[in-house]
Homo-oligomer: A and B are copies of this chain.
Amino acid sequence: MVQKVLRQAAKAASRRRGRPRAFEPETALAQAMEVFWKDGFAATSLDDVSAATGLNRPSLYGAFGDKRALYLQAYGQYRKRMNESFAPLFAAREPLRTKLRRILTAALDLYLGGPHGPRGCFTVLSAASDAIADPDLHSLVGEAIDGTDRAFGRMFSDARAAGELSAAADPRRLARMASATIHTLSIRARARIPRAEILPIIDDAVTTICGAESA
């Protein structure tokens, strides 16, 4: 009994007991994410995921559980990756105007540039899905939206402290407008509206939030 506990504790460090996995769960999850992101939960079959990952269904079950659990983990990885890739953009020491433009442009590129065409934001897709009825997904999506609001909120709050925004500006209001921009970018990208017609919205948001171009 004690032995077993010790062995389990060492699992991460030393090699697992039986036959080793022939794949990296992280990679498989990233591939599963792609197909779910493209077609959504209901329209994606486990055979689609199987084909995308190169794994048989039993391997998927063994590693991640059933379809729902797999989706939740794929979406979890999406959130983690988004946080990692956008954190430096939010932390950058740049003029507010430039920073906001960079963030929105990065989001649009991400939404338009999927390996299978325009796809929008996975969070927005998950919210639209029937799977949003699931309380777990429901929480994750709520956290994601809130997290975006907060990230923008901190950015505008810092900018105001640095004198880049008027003292009367409300960081939380501006943050929600920035999130709204993210959402409209996602929807228009997914609707396959051409990039050239979406791009002006980034200018709209920068102008609306930071004021008209002064230079």
Nearest CB in chain B: distance from A172 CB, A: 8
Stretch at the interface among A55-63, A69-77, A91-99, A126-134: A126-134
* Cross-chain contact of A127 among B38, B168, B190 (Cβ < 8 A): B190
Residues on B with beta carbons closer than 8 Å to the beta carbon of A200: 173, 176
- Please, how many angstroms separate the alpha-carbon atoms of A207 and B130 in the complex? 34
- Please, how many angstroms separate the alpha-carbon atoms of A208 and B181 in the complex? 13
* Interface size class, chain A: 35 or more
- Contact present for B130 and A191 (CB under 8 Å): no
A46 contacts chain B at the CB level, 8 A cutoff:
no
- Please, how many angstroms separate the alpha-carbon atoms of A201 and B43 in the complex? 32
Nearest CB in chain B: distance from A43 CB, A: 4
One digit per residue, 1 when the CB lies within 8 angstroms of any chain B CB and 0 when it does not, for chain A 101-137 equals 0000000000000000000100011011110100000
- Contact present for B127 and A191 (CB under 8 Å): yes
Q: A142-B191, A193-B142 are in contact. Are A124 and B128 (CB under 8 A)?
A: yes
Nearest CB in chain B: distance from A202 CB, A: 10
- Please, how many angstroms separate the alpha-carbon atoms of A127 and B55 in the complex? 30
Residues on B with beta carbons closer than 8 Å to the beta carbon of A42: 39-40, 42-43, 130
Q: A127-B128, A127-B190, A177-B204 are in contact. List 7 more A-B contacts (CB 8 A).
A: A39-B42, A120-B127, A124-B128, A132-B190, A142-B193, A180-B184, A183-B184
